[in-house]
Amino acid sequence: MKFLHVADAHLDSPFLGLSFLPDNEKEKIKRSTQVAFTKMVDYALANQVDFVLLVGDTFDSPNPTPSSQTFLMKQLDRLTSNQIPTYLSFGNHDYMTKQDLLVKENEYLHIFDQEVSTLNLTTKAGMQVAITGFSYEQNHILDDLTSQYPNAVAGVYNIGTLHGSLKTTNDTQNVYAPFTLAELVNKNYQYFALGHIHKREVLSENPLVVYSGNLQGRNINEATPKGFYEVNVSEDFQSTLNFVSTSEFVWQIVPLTFVNEVTKSNLVAEIVDQINAQIEQTTLIEVAVQNSEVLSPEIVELMRDHDFLTGLNKELNYHSLVVRSSFKSQAKIVLSKTDQQFFDEATDSVFTNDALAELTKNIQKKYPFAVDYLNSPDYIEKLKTQTELNLKQRFEVED
Protein backbone atom coordinates (compact mmCIF):
# COMPACT_ATOMS: atom_id res chain seq x y z
CA MET A 1 0.00 0.00 0.00
CA LYS A 2 1.10 3.56 -0.54
CA PHE A 3 -0.39 6.83 0.52
CA LEU A 4 0.53 10.50 0.39
CA HIS A 5 1.09 12.63 3.49
CA VAL A 6 0.44 16.22 2.46
CA ALA A 7 0.08 19.32 4.65
CA ASP A 8 0.11 23.10 4.57
CA ALA A 9 -0.58 23.79 0.90
CA HIS A 10 -1.54 27.36 1.94
CA LEU A 11 -3.40 28.10 -1.30
CA ASP A 12 -3.92 31.88 -1.55
CA SER A 13 -0.64 32.71 0.18
CA PRO A 14 -0.19 36.43 -0.41
CA PHE A 15 3.64 36.36 -0.76
CA LEU A 16 3.94 39.73 0.90
CA GLY A 17 6.84 42.07 0.31
CA LEU A 18 7.21 41.37 -3.41
CA SER A 19 5.09 44.24 -4.73
CA PHE A 20 8.10 45.75 -6.52
CA LEU A 21 8.40 42.80 -8.90
CA PRO A 22 6.96 42.99 -12.42
CA ASP A 23 3.36 41.74 -12.61
CA ASN A 24 4.15 38.58 -14.56
CA GLU A 25 6.75 37.51 -11.97
CA LYS A 26 4.38 38.29 -9.10
CA GLU A 27 1.64 36.25 -10.79
CA LYS A 28 3.97 33.29 -11.26
CA ILE A 29 4.98 33.38 -7.61
CA LYS A 30 1.37 33.66 -6.43
CA ARG A 31 0.36 30.73 -8.61
CA SER A 32 3.15 28.55 -7.24
CA THR A 33 1.07 27.11 -4.38
CA GLN A 34 -1.52 25.92 -6.90
CA VAL A 35 1.15 24.54 -9.21
CA ALA A 36 2.69 22.63 -6.30
CA PHE A 37 -0.69 21.20 -5.32
CA THR A 38 -1.35 20.16 -8.94
CA LYS A 39 2.01 18.35 -9.03
CA MET A 40 0.95 16.41 -5.93
CA VAL A 41 -2.36 15.36 -7.52
CA ASP A 42 -0.54 14.43 -10.76
CA TYR A 43 1.74 12.23 -8.70
CA ALA A 44 -1.15 10.57 -6.85
CA LEU A 45 -2.84 9.71 -10.15
CA ALA A 46 0.29 8.60 -11.98
CA ASN A 47 1.30 6.33 -9.10
CA GLN A 48 -2.19 5.09 -8.27
CA VAL A 49 -1.76 5.72 -4.55
CA ASP A 50 -4.27 4.14 -2.18
CA PHE A 51 -5.26 7.41 -0.50
CA VAL A 52 -4.21 10.98 0.21
CA LEU A 53 -4.07 12.77 3.57
CA LEU A 54 -4.38 16.57 3.59
CA VAL A 55 -3.40 17.54 7.12
CA GLY A 56 -4.64 21.11 7.50
CA ASP A 57 -3.97 24.61 6.18
CA THR A 58 -4.85 23.66 2.62
CA PHE A 59 -6.02 27.27 2.37
CA ASP A 60 -4.07 30.16 3.81
CA SER A 61 -7.19 31.66 5.41
CA PRO A 62 -10.70 30.70 6.52
CA ASN A 63 -12.06 32.89 3.70
CA PRO A 64 -10.43 31.48 0.58
CA THR A 65 -10.83 33.36 -2.70
CA PRO A 66 -13.27 31.99 -5.30
CA SER A 67 -10.23 31.15 -7.43
CA SER A 68 -8.71 28.96 -4.71
CA GLN A 69 -12.04 27.37 -3.83
CA THR A 70 -12.68 26.46 -7.45
CA PHE A 71 -9.14 25.24 -7.84
CA LEU A 72 -9.37 22.92 -4.83
CA MET A 73 -12.76 21.63 -5.96
CA LYS A 74 -11.29 20.64 -9.33
CA GLN A 75 -8.21 19.03 -7.85
CA LEU A 76 -10.20 17.04 -5.28
CA ASP A 77 -12.46 15.94 -8.10
CA ARG A 78 -9.45 14.66 -10.04
CA LEU A 79 -8.57 12.48 -7.04
CA THR A 80 -12.01 11.25 -6.09
CA SER A 81 -13.29 10.64 -9.63
CA ASN A 82 -10.28 8.35 -9.98
CA GLN A 83 -11.38 6.59 -6.80
CA ILE A 84 -8.54 7.82 -4.65
CA PRO A 85 -9.93 8.35 -1.14
CA THR A 86 -8.90 11.74 0.21
CA TYR A 87 -8.96 12.72 3.90
CA LEU A 88 -9.02 16.42 4.58
CA SER A 89 -8.80 18.27 7.87
CA PHE A 90 -8.85 22.00 8.44
CA GLY A 91 -5.95 23.67 10.26
CA ASN A 92 -5.42 26.86 12.21
CA HIS A 93 -5.26 28.96 9.03
CA ASP A 94 -8.27 27.49 7.25
CA TYR A 95 -10.54 26.82 10.22
CA MET A 96 -13.79 26.22 8.39
CA THR A 97 -16.72 23.84 8.35
CA LYS A 98 -17.65 21.30 5.69
CA GLN A 99 -20.42 23.65 4.58
CA ASP A 100 -17.85 26.32 3.70
CA LEU A 101 -16.31 24.24 0.92
CA LEU A 102 -17.56 24.30 -2.67
CA VAL A 103 -17.28 20.56 -2.74
CA LYS A 104 -19.39 18.06 -0.83
CA GLU A 105 -18.23 14.99 1.00
CA ASN A 106 -18.73 11.85 -1.03
CA GLU A 107 -17.74 8.22 -1.13
CA TYR A 108 -14.10 9.20 -1.65
CA LEU A 109 -13.84 12.60 0.01
CA HIS A 110 -13.83 12.60 3.82
CA ILE A 111 -13.61 15.74 5.91
CA PHE A 112 -12.79 15.54 9.61
CA ASP A 113 -15.11 17.23 12.11
CA GLN A 114 -14.06 19.30 15.08
CA GLU A 115 -14.27 16.23 17.32
CA VAL A 116 -11.58 13.60 17.04
CA SER A 117 -12.94 10.71 14.99
CA THR A 118 -11.69 7.64 13.17
CA LEU A 119 -12.42 6.67 9.58
CA ASN A 120 -11.82 3.15 8.33
CA LEU A 121 -10.70 2.08 4.93
CA THR A 122 -9.86 -1.18 3.20
CA THR A 123 -7.37 -0.76 0.37
CA LYS A 124 -7.82 -2.46 -2.99
CA ALA A 125 -5.26 -5.05 -1.88
CA GLY A 126 -7.28 -5.68 1.28
CA MET A 127 -5.22 -3.86 3.92
CA GLN A 128 -7.23 -2.45 6.81
CA VAL A 129 -6.45 1.16 7.63
CA ALA A 130 -7.80 3.37 10.45
CA ILE A 131 -7.30 7.13 10.10
CA THR A 132 -7.92 9.38 13.09
CA GLY A 133 -8.03 13.16 13.03
CA PHE A 134 -9.92 16.39 13.67
CA SER A 135 -10.45 19.85 12.19
CA TYR A 136 -10.01 23.33 13.61
CA GLU A 137 -13.14 25.44 13.89
CA GLN A 138 -11.28 28.43 15.28
CA ASN A 139 -7.66 29.43 14.88
CA HIS A 140 -6.50 28.17 18.25
CA ILE A 141 -6.90 24.86 20.04
CA LEU A 142 -5.49 25.05 23.55
CA ASP A 143 -6.30 21.48 24.54
CA ASP A 144 -4.05 18.51 24.04
CA LEU A 145 -6.36 16.25 22.03
CA THR A 146 -4.16 13.17 21.93
CA SER A 147 -5.99 11.49 24.82
CA GLN A 148 -9.04 11.42 22.54
CA TYR A 149 -7.20 9.40 19.89
CA PRO A 150 -8.29 5.77 20.31
CA ASN A 151 -5.82 3.00 21.03
CA ALA A 152 -4.25 1.26 18.09
CA VAL A 153 -6.23 -1.65 16.69
CA ALA A 154 -4.29 -4.88 16.12
CA GLY A 155 -4.05 -6.08 12.53
CA VAL A 156 -4.91 -2.62 11.28
CA TYR A 157 -2.51 0.04 9.96
CA ASN A 158 -3.25 2.90 12.36
CA ILE A 159 -2.69 6.46 11.23
CA GLY A 160 -3.09 9.59 13.32
CA THR A 161 -3.37 12.91 11.50
CA LEU A 162 -2.71 15.98 13.61
CA HIS A 163 -2.27 19.63 12.72
CA GLY A 164 -0.42 21.11 15.66
CA SER A 165 2.83 21.68 17.45
CA LEU A 166 4.90 20.11 20.18
CA LYS A 167 4.15 21.37 23.66
CA THR A 168 6.65 23.94 24.91
CA THR A 169 7.37 25.23 28.42
CA ASN A 170 5.85 28.57 27.36
CA ASP A 171 2.08 28.16 27.67
CA THR A 172 1.27 31.17 25.49
CA GLN A 173 2.75 29.18 22.58
CA ASN A 174 0.73 26.04 23.26
CA VAL A 175 -2.24 27.11 21.18
CA TYR A 176 -2.09 24.74 18.21
CA ALA A 177 -3.43 21.45 19.57
CA PRO A 178 -0.24 20.94 21.62
CA PHE A 179 1.09 17.41 22.09
CA THR A 180 4.17 15.64 23.37
CA LEU A 181 6.14 13.18 21.29
CA ALA A 182 5.82 10.55 24.03
CA GLU A 183 2.03 10.75 23.85
CA LEU A 184 2.07 10.07 20.13
CA VAL A 185 4.65 7.30 20.35
CA ASN A 186 2.68 5.61 23.14
CA LYS A 187 -0.39 5.35 20.92
CA ASN A 188 1.44 2.57 19.08
CA TYR A 189 0.14 3.80 15.74
CA GLN A 190 2.13 2.89 12.66
CA TYR A 191 2.21 6.47 11.41
CA PHE A 192 1.50 9.99 12.68
CA ALA A 193 1.01 12.44 9.81
CA LEU A 194 1.61 15.91 11.23
CA GLY A 195 0.89 19.33 9.76
CA HIS A 196 1.47 22.95 10.80
CA ILE A 197 5.26 23.22 11.01
CA HIS A 198 6.51 24.04 7.52
CA LYS A 199 9.87 22.42 8.05
CA ARG A 200 10.03 18.79 6.99
CA GLU A 201 11.01 16.69 9.98
CA VAL A 202 10.90 13.11 11.22
CA LEU A 203 10.24 13.41 14.97
CA SER A 204 10.39 9.65 15.50
CA GLU A 205 11.52 6.80 13.26
CA ASN A 206 9.82 3.96 15.06
CA PRO A 207 6.95 4.51 15.08
CA LEU A 208 7.02 7.15 12.37
CA VAL A 209 5.95 10.59 13.57
CA VAL A 210 6.47 12.98 10.69
CA TYR A 211 6.01 16.57 9.58
CA SER A 212 5.89 16.65 5.78
CA GLY A 213 6.43 20.42 5.67
CA ASN A 214 4.61 22.65 3.21
CA LEU A 215 4.32 22.17 -0.55
CA GLN A 216 5.95 25.46 -1.55
CA GLY A 217 8.19 27.75 0.53
CA ARG A 218 6.53 31.10 1.11
CA ASN A 219 9.33 33.29 2.40
CA ILE A 220 13.05 33.39 3.03
CA ASN A 221 12.60 31.47 6.29
CA GLU A 222 11.17 28.55 4.33
CA ALA A 223 14.26 27.63 2.32
CA THR A 224 15.08 24.17 0.88
CA PRO A 225 12.84 22.24 -1.51
CA LYS A 226 9.32 21.59 -0.24
CA GLY A 227 6.89 18.82 -1.03
CA PHE A 228 5.12 15.81 0.45
CA TYR A 229 5.87 12.29 1.61
CA GLU A 230 4.83 9.18 -0.24
CA VAL A 231 4.63 6.44 2.39
CA ASN A 232 5.14 2.90 1.15
CA VAL A 233 3.82 0.20 3.47
CA SER A 234 4.70 -3.49 3.23
CA GLU A 235 2.31 -6.28 4.15
CA ASP A 236 3.92 -6.53 7.58
CA PHE A 237 3.36 -2.78 8.12
CA GLN A 238 6.94 -1.63 7.54
CA SER A 239 6.73 1.96 6.30
CA THR A 240 9.29 3.79 4.21
CA LEU A 241 9.28 7.47 3.35
CA ASN A 242 9.86 8.90 -0.09
CA PHE A 243 10.05 12.69 -0.25
CA VAL A 244 8.65 14.19 -3.46
CA SER A 245 9.50 17.82 -4.17
CA THR A 246 6.76 20.08 -5.52
CA SER A 247 8.31 23.54 -5.18
CA GLU A 248 8.29 25.70 -8.26
CA PHE A 249 11.15 27.67 -6.80
CA VAL A 250 13.19 27.71 -3.61
CA TRP A 251 14.17 30.59 -1.37
CA GLN A 252 17.82 31.02 -0.51
CA ILE A 253 20.00 33.43 1.39
CA VAL A 254 23.06 33.90 -0.83
CA PRO A 255 26.07 35.26 1.08
CA LEU A 256 28.20 37.74 -0.84
CA THR A 257 31.75 38.59 0.15
CA PHE A 258 33.53 41.29 -1.79
CA VAL A 259 37.25 40.75 -2.28
CA ASN A 260 37.94 43.14 -5.14
CA GLU A 261 37.40 46.83 -4.90
CA VAL A 262 33.78 47.49 -5.68
CA THR A 263 32.81 50.34 -7.93
CA LYS A 264 29.48 51.04 -9.56
CA SER A 265 30.80 49.79 -12.88
CA ASN A 266 31.77 46.33 -11.62
CA LEU A 267 29.07 45.98 -8.99
CA VAL A 268 26.53 44.11 -11.12
CA ALA A 269 29.09 41.61 -12.42
CA GLU A 270 30.46 41.02 -8.91
CA ILE A 271 27.02 40.25 -7.53
CA VAL A 272 25.75 38.20 -10.47
CA ASP A 273 28.85 35.96 -10.62
CA GLN A 274 28.67 35.19 -6.93
CA ILE A 275 24.95 34.42 -7.09
CA ASN A 276 25.16 32.18 -10.16
CA ALA A 277 27.91 30.16 -8.50
CA GLN A 278 25.64 29.43 -5.55
CA ILE A 279 22.22 28.56 -7.01
CA GLU A 280 21.07 25.31 -8.58
CA GLN A 281 17.46 25.96 -9.55
CA THR A 282 14.93 28.73 -9.80
CA THR A 283 15.56 30.69 -6.64
CA LEU A 284 14.14 33.71 -4.86
CA ILE A 285 17.21 35.27 -3.33
CA GLU A 286 18.20 37.41 -0.40
CA VAL A 287 21.71 38.65 -1.06
CA ALA A 288 23.44 38.83 2.31
CA VAL A 289 26.55 40.98 2.15
CA GLN A 290 29.00 39.63 4.73
CA ASN A 291 31.55 42.46 4.69
CA SER A 292 29.61 45.60 3.92
CA GLU A 293 32.37 47.70 5.53
CA VAL A 294 34.22 47.52 2.19
CA LEU A 295 31.29 49.11 0.37
CA SER A 296 30.72 52.84 0.15
CA PRO A 297 27.46 54.08 1.71
CA GLU A 298 26.35 54.94 -1.82
CA ILE A 299 26.74 51.36 -2.98
CA VAL A 300 24.95 50.02 0.09
CA GLU A 301 22.12 52.45 -0.70
CA LEU A 302 22.06 51.18 -4.28
CA MET A 303 21.94 47.57 -3.16
CA ARG A 304 18.96 48.32 -0.95
CA ASP A 305 17.04 49.69 -3.91
CA HIS A 306 14.37 47.47 -5.47
CA ASP A 307 14.90 48.87 -8.97
CA PHE A 308 18.58 48.06 -8.76
CA LEU A 309 17.91 44.54 -7.43
CA THR A 310 15.25 43.86 -10.07
CA GLY A 311 17.74 44.98 -12.72
CA LEU A 312 20.05 42.10 -11.78
CA ASN A 313 17.48 39.43 -12.54
CA LYS A 314 17.95 39.12 -16.28
CA GLU A 315 21.56 38.03 -15.66
CA LEU A 316 20.68 35.25 -13.23
CA ASN A 317 20.51 31.55 -14.02
CA TYR A 318 17.24 29.56 -13.91
CA HIS A 319 15.11 32.74 -14.09
CA SER A 320 15.98 33.44 -10.49
CA LEU A 321 15.11 36.71 -8.79
CA VAL A 322 16.79 38.82 -6.12
CA VAL A 323 14.02 39.92 -3.80
CA ARG A 324 15.89 41.46 -0.89
CA SER A 325 19.28 42.37 0.50
CA SER A 326 20.84 42.41 3.93
CA PHE A 327 24.14 43.68 5.23
CA LYS A 328 26.56 42.44 7.84
CA SER A 329 29.74 44.18 8.77
CA GLN A 330 32.93 42.73 10.16
CA ALA A 331 34.01 46.14 11.37
CA LYS A 332 34.00 46.86 15.08
CA ILE A 333 32.68 49.98 16.69
CA VAL A 334 35.63 51.72 18.31
CA LEU A 335 34.78 52.83 21.80
CA SER A 336 36.67 53.70 24.92
CA LYS A 337 36.64 51.04 27.61
CA THR A 338 33.95 52.79 29.66
CA ASP A 339 31.82 53.50 26.60
CA GLN A 340 32.17 49.88 25.55
CA GLN A 341 30.87 48.76 28.91
CA PHE A 342 27.80 50.99 28.58
CA PHE A 343 27.33 49.83 25.02
CA ASP A 344 27.38 46.16 26.05
CA GLU A 345 24.98 46.80 28.93
CA ALA A 346 22.63 48.65 26.62
CA THR A 347 22.77 45.80 24.10
CA ASP A 348 21.88 43.27 26.79
CA SER A 349 18.96 45.28 28.10
CA VAL A 350 17.51 46.33 24.72
CA PHE A 351 17.54 42.99 22.95
CA THR A 352 15.46 41.07 25.45
CA ASN A 353 12.17 39.41 24.61
CA ASP A 354 10.38 41.69 27.07
CA ALA A 355 11.87 44.90 25.70
CA LEU A 356 11.02 43.89 22.13
CA ALA A 357 7.52 42.81 23.14
CA GLU A 358 7.02 46.27 24.65
CA LEU A 359 8.31 48.00 21.49
CA THR A 360 6.13 45.94 19.18
CA LYS A 361 3.05 45.87 21.42
CA ASN A 362 0.88 47.72 18.93
CA ILE A 363 1.93 45.59 15.98
CA GLN A 364 1.29 42.43 17.97
CA LYS A 365 -2.16 43.67 18.97
CA LYS A 366 -3.12 44.62 15.44
CA TYR A 367 -1.60 41.59 13.69
CA PRO A 368 -1.76 38.57 16.00
CA PHE A 369 -0.09 36.40 13.32
CA ALA A 370 3.06 38.50 13.68
CA VAL A 371 3.57 37.41 17.28
CA ASP A 372 5.45 34.20 16.48
CA TYR A 373 7.65 36.01 14.00
CA LEU A 374 8.51 38.90 16.32
CA ASN A 375 9.40 36.51 19.11
CA SER A 376 11.55 34.21 17.02
CA PRO A 377 15.26 34.12 17.92
CA ASP A 378 16.06 34.45 14.20
CA TYR A 379 14.20 37.71 13.93
CA ILE A 380 15.75 39.14 17.09
CA GLU A 381 19.20 38.21 15.82
CA LYS A 382 18.51 39.97 12.51
CA LEU A 383 17.25 43.05 14.28
CA LYS A 384 20.40 43.10 16.38
CA THR A 385 22.69 42.78 13.35
CA GLN A 386 20.84 45.51 11.49
CA THR A 387 20.97 47.83 14.49
CA GLU A 388 24.68 47.25 14.92
CA LEU A 389 25.26 48.01 11.28
CA ASN A 390 23.26 51.23 11.47
CA LEU A 391 25.24 52.29 14.52
CA LYS A 392 28.55 51.42 12.91
CA GLN A 393 27.75 53.71 10.03
CA ARG A 394 27.41 56.54 12.54
CA PHE A 395 30.49 55.74 14.62
CA GLU A 396 34.04 55.61 13.46
CA VAL A 397 34.89 52.04 12.62
CA GLU A 398 38.05 50.01 12.15
CA ASP A 399 38.32 46.88 10.03
Least separation in angstroms between residue 56's CB and Mn ion is 6
**CA distances to 3, 279, 282, 288, 365 from 275, in Å:** 38, 6, 12, 10, 39
164 binds Mn ion (CB under 5 A): no
DSSP letters, 102-129, are SS---SSEEE--SS-EEEEEE-TT--EE
Give whichever of 162 and 322 is closer to Mn ion, judged by the CB atom: 162
Site for Mn ion in 18-57 (CB under 5 A): 57
β-pair type (109-111, 86-89): parallel
Least separation in angstroms between residue 383's CB and Mn ion is 25
Least separation in angstroms between residue 177's CB and Mn ion is 10
Give whichever of 173 and 317 is closer to Mn ion, judged by the CB atom: 173
Sole binder of Mn ion in the list 91, 164, 213, 227 (CB under 5 A): 91
32: left (phi over 0), alpha (psi -120 to 50) or beta: alpha
Strand pairing partners for 4?
A: 52, 230
92 binds Mn ion (CB under 5 A): yes
Sign of CA dihedral 180, 199, 27, 255: positive
Strand pairing partners for 86?
A: 52, 109
Closest CA to 193 of 50, 110, 184, 183: 184
Here's the x/- map for Mn ion, 188-227, by CB under 5 A: it reads as: --------x-------------------------------
- Biggest CA-to-CA distance, the chain: 78
Least separation in angstroms between residue 10's CB and Mn ion is 8
Report the residue closest to Mn ion, judged by CB: 196
Give whichever of 90 and 191 is closer to Mn ion, judged by the CB atom: 90
Least separation in angstroms between residue 7's CB and Mn ion is 8
187 binds Mn ion (CB under 5 A): no
* Number of chain positions touching Mn ion (CB under 5 A): 4
Asked whether 1 and 125 are in contact (CB, 8 A), the reply is: yes
Stretch that binds Mn ion, among 26-34, 84-92, 219-227, 368-376 (CB under 5 A): 84-92
Give whichever of 37 and 108 is closer to Mn ion, judged by the CB atom: 37
Give whichever of 92 and 325 is closer to Mn ion, judged by the CB atom: 92
User: Alpha-carbon distance 177 to 133, whole Å?
Assistant: 12
Enumerate binding residues for Mn ion (CB under 5 A): 57, 91-92, 196
